[in-house]
């Protein structure tokens, strides 16, 4: 069963039963950034730690980093974002995913928010 979790920095993590997870930014985050013009993704195979800046997201307004919500090995990056970063603006929680990782410490998921907690954060 897949589980969707969120960070206070507006990243999402969608876990799968096989120990992998997709990671992206939330719809709220892409709205705050505005139109995305460039995304620099990390190398496949890289080992990353929770909190590492792994991708650069540039918009017409600003540049920011995607911070790893969990530790693991990068298995795949969304190559489509290279030529079309606007996919994130169109579908941040779906086709606009950034990375697929093999989690190295699934206990880190307990530090993330569920959908209800994230929704509460947005309303603060």
Walk along the chain (124 residues) and give the pLDDT tens digit of each residue.
679 999 999 999 999 999 999 999 999 999 999 999 999 999 999 999 999 999 999 999 899 999 999 999 999 999 999 999 999 999 999 999 999 999 999 999 999 999 999 999 999 8
Residues whose CB is less than 8 angstroms from the CB of residue 38 and which lie 6 or more positions away in sequence, other chains included: 56, 57, 58, 85
Annotated domain spans of the chain:
3-105
Asked if 3 and 15 touch (Cβ cutoff 8 Å), the reply is yes
- From the candidate CATH numbers 2.40.128.280, 2.30.30.240, 2.40.33.20, 2.40.50.100, the one assigned to the domain spanning 3-105: 2.40.50.100
How many Å separate Cα 114 from the centre of its chain?
Answer: 15
Q: Which residue has the tokens 């969304």?
A: 78
- DSSP secondary-structure letter at 114? -
In order of 44, 63, 68, the CA distances from 94 in angstroms are 20, 22, 18
pTM reported for the whole predicted model: 0.94
């Amino acid at each position: 069963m897949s589980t969707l979790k969120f960070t206070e920095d507006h990243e999402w993590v969608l876990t799968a039963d096989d120990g992998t997870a997709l990671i992206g930014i939330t719809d709220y985050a892409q709205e705050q950034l505005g139109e995305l013009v460039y995304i620099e993704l990390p190398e496949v195979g890289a080992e990353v730690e929770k909190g590492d800046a792994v991708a650069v997201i540039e918009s017409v307004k600003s540049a920011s980093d995607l911070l790893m919500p969990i530790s693991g090995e990068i298995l795949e990056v969304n190559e489509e974002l290279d030529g079309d970063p606007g996919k994130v603006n169109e579908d941040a929680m779906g086709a606009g995913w950034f990375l697929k990782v093999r989690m190295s410490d699934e206990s880190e998921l307990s530090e993330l928010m569920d959908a209800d907690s994230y929704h509460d954060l947005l309303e603060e």
